[in-house]
Amino acid sequence: MSRRLRYHVAVSLDGFIAGPNGEYDWIVMDPAVDFAALFKEFDTAVMGRKTYDLLTAQGGDGAMPGLDVMVFSRTLPATARPGVRIFNDDPRGIVTALKAKPGRDIWLFGGGILFRSLLDAGLVDTVEVAVIPVLLGAGVPLLPPGATTKLVLADQKTLPSGIVALSYSVPGGVGPAPRIRYIKAAKKGVNTKKPTGSKKKAG
């Protein structure tokens, strides 16, 4: 069976994956998210040039722990170094071949233009979003304008921070979408109720 190509991103409530200047400081870091568990679901990440620029702007070289990073760009020179490969080729052909190879799922890391291209080509299998409780008002959209695609809900979870994690299958893709397993379970035995014993009297 083919590997799944999963578009997995954080998005604002009004549908943006980055601010007007690429800002992502609005993304809430919820301690319930187990990033190590999430990363283990993939062995490859594919992304466009703008997303890659955001990663390298943090001071690294764009590499992601445990993942083979593949960048598609018309402007950056094609190159290969440990953990990162940059391609000038049409991503649709490369992703098609990649999905046919054995391995874990493929993380479509961003951005929206690459998502639109691969979605229109019938290569995207799941859409998994972490909806952040913020309204940006403007920014980089989750998906540029184009054809309509109906999705099928596979799982949903609400985190303590107000983040809502949603997992959808794309009909006709390699599915179904996975259950959301990267959320840490709440600790049992912790009493969060306030004591109901004696109360101080006023005065």
Task: Specify the pLDDT at position 195.
Answer: 43
Per-residue pLDDT band for 186 (boundaries 50, 70, 90) equals low
Q: Is the entire prediction scored with pTM above 0.85?
A: yes
Report the C-alpha gap between 168 and 177 in whole angstroms. 6
Q: What is the CA 169 to chain-centroid distance, rounded?
A: 14
For 123-150, letters b (16+ CB in 10 Å) and e give bbbbbbbbbbeeebeebbbbbeeeeeee
Residue type, 66: G
Q: Cβ-count burial of 186 within 10 angstroms (0-12 exposed, 13-18 middle, 19+ buried)?
A: exposed
Query: Mean pLDDT across the stretch 85-97?
Result: 95
| Fold of domain 12-169 | Dihydrofolate Reductase, subunit A (3.40.430)
Report residue 42 as tokens. Answer: 């993939």
